[in-house]
Amino acid sequence: AQSVAQPEDQVNVAEGNPLTVKCTYSVSGNPYLFWYVQYPNRGLQFLLKYITGDNLVKGSYGFEAEFNKSQTSFHLKKPSALVSDSALYFCAVIYYGNNRLAFGKGNQVVVIP
């Protein structure tokens, strides 16, 4: 069955430091992978996606993610975190032939000033 795992509950990082939010997926066909962010009392916002092609994808707000097939991972990264990046981050997957998004449990990111 398709699924993604976000192993950490909360990620704390100092402002200006690199930010990494981890995501791994279970293998079942060719995955389409996504990252979404949810700010308090707001809906989900799309950050970036991997469908095919270059393994490094760049998205909104300076975020990027690298698709690593051998490690079945799709970690989200930002070189220099901002306090405004504090939010809930979700990794999600769609497998080809199945149109439903499966979400990870989410990671609370706290950027400390």
Partner 1 sequence: SAVISQKPSRDICQRGTSLTIQCQVDSQVTMMFWYRQQPGQSLTLIATANQGSEATYESGFVIDKFPISRPNLTFSTLTVSNMSPEDSSIYLCSVLLGNTEAFFGQGTRLTVV
β 24-25/19-21 pair status: unpaired
Decide whether 1 or 113 has the Cβ nearer to partner 1: 1
Q: How far is the CB of 16 from partner 1 (least distance, A)?
A: 29
CB of residue 52 to partner 1, shortest distance in Å: 10
CB contact at 8 A, 17 and 109? no
- Shortest distance, position 51 Cβ to partner 1, whole Å: 6
- Residue 63 makes CB contacts below 8 A (sequence gap 6+) with 35, 47, 48, 76, 77, 78
Q: Which residues bind partner 1 (CB under 8 A)?
A: 32, 34, 36, 41-44, 46, 49, 51, 90, 92, 94, 99-106
